[in-house]
Structure 1
Amino acid sequence: MNHDALHDPLAWVQARTEADPVRQRVLEGLARRAAAQSGALRERLVARLIARAEAPTTAPAAPRSSPAPRPLAELVAQLQATGTELRQVHAHERTWRALRLTRRMAEVSAPVPEHLGPLNSQVLVARALQELQTLSPGYLQQLLTQLDMLAALAPLQAAEGGADKPARKAGARSAASKTPSPRRR
């Protein structure tokens, strides 16, 4: 075992110059760990340090060229080709979101009838949304977008839920209500 490495592992690693900076940092980390230990553990860590330092370096493998373009690469190429169109779509989408938010906030900001009372749910929601608009308009926009999505999905869920459950007859009574109740005397 190398006596210099056992005596001061960090100085031994720093005296060696590695071409790969990542490998140098790994060796320095292992040397710091070995320097903090004593006894048999230190000897094992120094042995591991020496083995790693003297191991041959492997060059990174050259990327293989594939004969056929990958699907993701094709998609990226198509998106880059239509970049200006996508930017226009995003710009219009932002405009529509801003208009939708303005319209929704106009609906919320409409005066709420006074006779409803301060704890009415309509009054509370209107106040909360107005306060949210002043505190975080971006969050409010995300919230309203998600609520619009849920509202658009509600008819689909109702249609799907109706097909799964059998229809209940209007005149059907439960089994408990069919049994006569005992009379008291």
Structure 2
Amino acid sequence: MTMGALDDPIGWAAAQAAADPVRRRVLEALARRAAALPPGALREQLVAKLVRRARAEPAPLPVRRATNSASPLTELVARLRAGASPELRHVQAHHRTWSALRLSRRMAEVSVPVPEHLGPLNSQVLVARALQQLQALSPDYLQRLLTGLDTLAALAPPQAAADKPARPVAKKAPARRR
């Protein structure tokens, strides 16, 4: 252990050249903690840890992948599509058409006239209006939104009214006469 590190840990840590700012901050924090302690075994242990950290070889920085390289999942999907049967390729070719047909069917359901007596702030009226405006602004986004909603609806457990028992009707007690 270095005697200068034991006497003045903060000055010793400041004199160490650490190119990595995180590493430098760790050394400074250890030095401050050691300097705050009175001389003794605990301070010596912290200074020893400080010296070990300062002399240790810095960890290599992670190498980033090139942005144009494919991820393993992308490579797997590409291999599956390349070896796909003719039926699967046929389904993939018509997927966009089927999606457009499903969207037009869903929009026809939404576009059904809403009764006027509900008022302009009724939730059914507001949802219908919002979906119609969304179709005009961004049909692709609307298609993805409806696909996501269909997926959530398929995942939700069925909540049939027949499954729930009817609540018993509470009988009112006869009114008392005074």
TM-score with structure 2 length normalisation? Answer: 0.48
Which protein is richer in helix relative to its size? 1
